[in-house]
Chain A
Amino acid sequence: MATTKKPTRSRKARKTTPTFKQKLLSTSYKVFFAMIVLFGIALVFVDIHIRQQFEGKRWAVPAKVYARPLELYAGLSLSLDDLKIELRGLGYQFVSKVSQPGQAEFSTSKAIIYSRGFNFPDGNEQAQQIVLDFSNDLLTNVRSYQGNPISLVRLEPILVGGIYPLNNEDRDLIQLQDAPQQLIDALIVIEDRDYYQHLGISPRGIARAMWINIQAGSFVQGGSTLTQQLIKNFYLNSDRNLARKLMEIPMAMLLELHYSKDEILEAYLNEIYVGQEGARAIHGFGTAAHYYFAQPIQELKLHQVALLAGLVKGPSFYDPRRHPERAKARRNLVLRALNEQNSITDAEYKRAITMPLGIVERSSLLKGAYPAYLDLVKRQLRETYQDADLNSEGLRVFTSLNPIAQNKAEAALVDTITKLEKLHGKKLKQLQGSVVVTEPQTGEVIAIVGGRQTRYQGFNRALDAVRPIGSLVKPAVYLTAIEQGYTLISEIDDSPYKLAMKGGQVWNPENFNHKSNGMVPLHEAIAQSYNLATARLGMTLGLDKVISTMQRLGVTRPMNAFPSLLLGAQGLSPMEVATMYQTIAANGFQMPLRSIRMVTDKAGQELSSYPFQLKQTVSSNSIHLLQYMMQETARIGTARSIYQHLPADINAAGKTGTSDQQRDSWFAGFTGNRLAIVWLGQDDNASLPFTGASGALQAWIAYMASETLQPFVAASPEGIEYVWIDPQSGQLSAEYCLGAQQMPFLLGTGPTLAIDCVDQHDDNPVSKSIDWVKQLFR
């Protein structure tokens, strides 16, 4: 037993005594081995990660939102000033002689544009010189520089916004060949002179940085190569610490191992952080060129690229908008370095350092300038796309936003609000307003103003302020009447009206001037916006019928069948009102209001289209009669101030609206090529010292007066006949009779009794005032 145990023990003992050292050794060995394996694995992992990210080139590229491209063709209503608005939005340089894309020159009736070209989903527009001749507000001739006529050409669309991911990185990808050589020279000379020689890290650079850091006693300088900077921006967070620094080195070397210098440089140009606008981080030189100079990168000059290269070191410290002196010194330092390296000549250097910084005002940048419109676009996009697709796939969204109309609508609203505040003083605490503009035939939304601070990305009143619409509801009441057999001259009762309601309450509407007008013809009741007549008429027709009419006009919001609905107690947003009036303007065809024309992927492949859709929900005949009454409203009714400012042949149609206790001032109306809804009010619902006619209508007029308008043409449908009547008696009259007025009737519904009439004389003032009606429908 003992003998058998002994050797065991001795074996054990033999094993135990030397093993302590051995164990230690072996553990060290294991740890060392494990560390190598671990490091190796980590390296492999890092390598895979780097390659995946790099090769996929998966930068999160926000969706780009474009305005409509301006189509140029002979016969287009466009003034030279309008063209300038568009070209400023595109960042064109106005020069005395065009020589490269992105420039324009003007004379009194001529413009020469050197367009940049654009790759549209349906074809490429080449960069070319276009000569445009103007006559007043008309583009009369479009030709090439050589003089050949051009039937149609599109300018590139203005980029009006992006849809950013949560980290708010904005990025506009460029290719290496897009970048001016001087930008690359400047970057290399100022950030990494050994770029084309080193293997990802520059020992000299690191040594220099370490020396500086030791001297400073803290970590103040990087000495990073461009490759390391890319790694830092691309993969690592921005904390400055040694561990990060150590990780940078193998990563940079791996990157250099796999990719060419040009590939790395291109990634750098797109990745590097070069500025900050509020929450939006500006990444890459493509975005920076637009952000600082409102120009594409290809068009930048030496002094501009030198500034961009200089910014890399500290976009905030050298921010040319906040610290122009610092920025200029930095830019000149870059220029000097370029000159020392003989990248630029002495003459180029001397010229460049005398140049101003040339930074555009933030306010002139159109990207993000139209938050209210962009808000609508985003809402419509989110019906189809997920956020991740919108903010990372580089989608291109083509909208119908018309920047010229948008600028004019903003100016009209802001000017009118300012005037009203001046006029009424303290009664207005904080007047607000909103505008929606559409193209009446196509249903495209072309402008939206969400409040008086037009660039403020806050409460969007055009979409979200649901306010009582007042008399804007009346066209629905009178349309219902027409559909139930009333004619324009049917007499309705405007005497005082009381309605006993459930619970003992009494509804007691009043006219605006607190007077009643007795029996009045239908057309006068709406043109003068009589409340008593409308309330009684609406109750006779039936609330459900009026609601049904509103629904056919396009209102989808659930509505309460209260009698007060007839006078506009129902709240709607300006956008909903636009939908309703759009149906009236488009001759009874209801159509969804569209802000997006097409969505494509980043390569231009179509993903979504938003085709023209429509559905006739009101007969042409009924709509025609309503349009007539709404034109009368504009001629001689509550909106007659229109013709103090707009040409007589414009045939505008519309309706004023003032809500209960004058809390809201509305106007909704259209001409041949513009439908606009204006709302004015205060966010706290306080009463206003003005009505729809003296408030919102004035902004509407200011907008329309600034536009190039086309007359509204009310084509008489085949079921309608025009009859001369005597407006006083409503009886049949004749063209030559004094005061006779031509009015539309459904076939066979006109008056049959004729009145004896007085022959009129040509210069009778009464007859003159109604000449418009006689001339309208010939």
Chain B
Amino acid sequence: MILKTNTYRFVLLSFILGMAGCSSTFQAPIEDRNGVPPRVEQPKPVVNNGAITIPLSDEMVDQSQRSEQATTEPLSAAPEATGMPVSPTAIRPAQQNTAVIALLSEANNYSEEGDLRSAQSTLQRAQRIAPRDPEVYFALANTHLTLQDYSLAEQVALKGVSLVQGQANQLNRFWSLIAVIRTAAGNTNGAKQARDTANRY
């Protein structure tokens, strides 16, 4: 019995020493990722300084950041629209690029399928090609509206307004969209103002 125990101890000790020896010998030049728990469910996107991120693992984003994000104030409402009608200097509507037309149509398909993320990234691709094309902002504002991100939807639509100065039809269209966005956001007064502005064109 004693012998057996001793042998057992010896083997155990050797094993431990061996393990220690092994672990120093077999230094893999690699980070062992086996400790990372498998992803059980799709992690929730995290918003950080404007970036939308799906964490690699739950430990990745620390909690302090999250609580900060939770308290991040929403973007404030747009400044009031100036009230008086003018004869504004018109921007000639630029001829739409065929590449942009193709991307807008692709984005529209994504939106109809409910894939708003793809729609957004396609629209941003269009925006880089034609950063002054109001149609890009109109579609982008609509995706934010569908995602119920009302403040960003409104800002994007206002950006569109700044690109269609002097084009009555377009101004009507954009201000009408802003009215819809503000209504959805529960900003009744703002919606009425936007509706009135739209009606002037």
Contacts and interface: CB of A to CB of B under 8 A. Distances in A.
Q: Do A and B come from one complex?
A: yes
B76 interface: yes
B198 to A, nearest CB: 13
Interface string A307-333: 000000000000000000000000000
Q: How large is the interface on A (under 10, 10 to 19, 20 to 34, 35 or more residues)?
A: 35 or more
A207 interface: no
B27 interface: yes
B82 interface: yes
Contacts of B56: 385, 389, 393, 601, 607
B117 A606 contact: yes
Contacts of B165: 715-718
A234 B28 CA distance: 6
A612 interface: yes
Contacts of B124: 597, 611-612
Nearest to A39: B18
Contacts, number: 205
A763 interface: no
A122 B10 contact: no
B53 A384 contact: yes
Interface in B79-117: 79, 82, 84-86, 88-89, 91, 97-99, 101-103, 117
A609 B121 contact: yes
A756 to B, nearest CB: 27
B102 A151 contact: yes
Contacts of A38: 11, 14-15, 18
Interface string A383-405: 11110110011000000000000
Which among B26, B33, B97, B122 has the highest number of chain A CB atoms within 10 Å? B26
A673 B132 CA distance: 10
A41 B18 contact: yes
B200 to A, nearest CB: 9
A512 B29 CA distance: 61
A79 interface: no
B162 A392 contact: no
Contacts of B98: 73-75, 151-152
B62 to A, nearest CB: 9
Nearest to A621: B82
A73 B129 contact: yes
Interface in B19-43: 19, 22, 25-34
Interface string A588-617: 010010101111010000111111111110
Interface residues of B, number: 69
A392 B60 CA distance: 14
B11 A37 contact: yes
Interface stretch (B151-159, B179-187, B188-196): B151-159
Contacts of B26: 46, 49, 235-236
Interface string A360-401: 000000000000000000001001111011001100000000
A27 B97 CA distance: 89
A589 B50 contact: no
Interface in A42-72: 42, 45-46, 49, 52-53, 56, 58-60, 68, 71
Contacts of A441: 127, 131-132
Contacts of A247: 25
Interface string B156-174: 1011001101100000000
A389 B121 CA distance: 24
A33 interface: yes
Given A58-B33, A122-B121, A616 B79 contact: yes
Contacts of A73: 97-99, 129
Nearest to B80: A619
Contacts of A386: 60
B140 interface: yes
A349 B85 CA distance: 81
Contact of B131 (A60, A122, A442): A442
Contact of A384 (B51, B76, B125, B166): B51
B49 interface: yes
B102 A152 contact: yes
Interface stretch (A4-12, A94-102, A454-462, A719-727): A719-727
A439 B33 contact: no
A609 B117 contact: yes
B30 A30 contact: no
A433 B15 CA distance: 62
B118 interface: yes
Contacts of A494: none
Contact of B34 (A52, A76, A598): A52
Contacts of B125: 71, 122
A777 interface: yes
Contact of B10 (A30, A169, A717): A30
Given A58-B33, A122-B118, A715-B162, A615 B60 contact: no
Nearest to B54: A607
B197 to A, nearest CB: 9
A612 B29 contact: no
A614 B97 contact: no
A610 B29 contact: no
Contacts of A601: 56
Contact of B88 (A613, A718, A778): A718
A151 B51 CA distance: 30
Contact of A46 (B22, B50, B53, B129): B22
B48 interface: yes
Contact of B52 (A380, A444, A608, A616): A608
A592 B117 CA distance: 20
Given A444-B128, A747-B84, A777-B89, A614 B156 contact: yes
A389 B54 contact: no
A19 to B, nearest CB: 13
B88 to A, nearest CB: 5
A121 B120 CA distance: 13
B68 to A, nearest CB: 12
A257 interface: no
A610 B163 CA distance: 23
Nearest to A235: B26
Given A608-B53, A615-B155, A715-B165, A42 B31 contact: no
Contact of B25 (A236, A594, A615): A236
A606 B54 contact: yes
A108 interface: no
Contacts of A234: 28-29
Given A236-B26, A384-B51, A612-B156, A392 B122 contact: no
A442 B120 CA distance: 14
Contacts of B127: 441-442, 612
A620 interface: yes
Given A42-B18, A717-B162, A720-B86, A616 B78 contact: yes
27 contacts: A38-B15, A59-B30, A60-B30, A71-B99, A71-B125, A74-B98, A152-B103, A234-B28, A237-B27, A384-B48, A392-B30, A607-B55, A608-B51, A610-B50, A610-B51, A610-B52, A616-B155, A616-B159, A713-B132, A715-B162, A715-B165, A717-B88, A718-B165, A719-B82, A719-B84, A720-B88, A722-B89
Given A76-B129, A383-B48, 17 more contacts: A34-B14, A38-B14, A38-B15, A74-B97, A122-B118, A122-B122, A152-B99, A247-B25, A444-B128, A608-B53, A609-B53, A610-B52, A612-B124, A613-B155, A614-B152, A619-B82, A718-B88
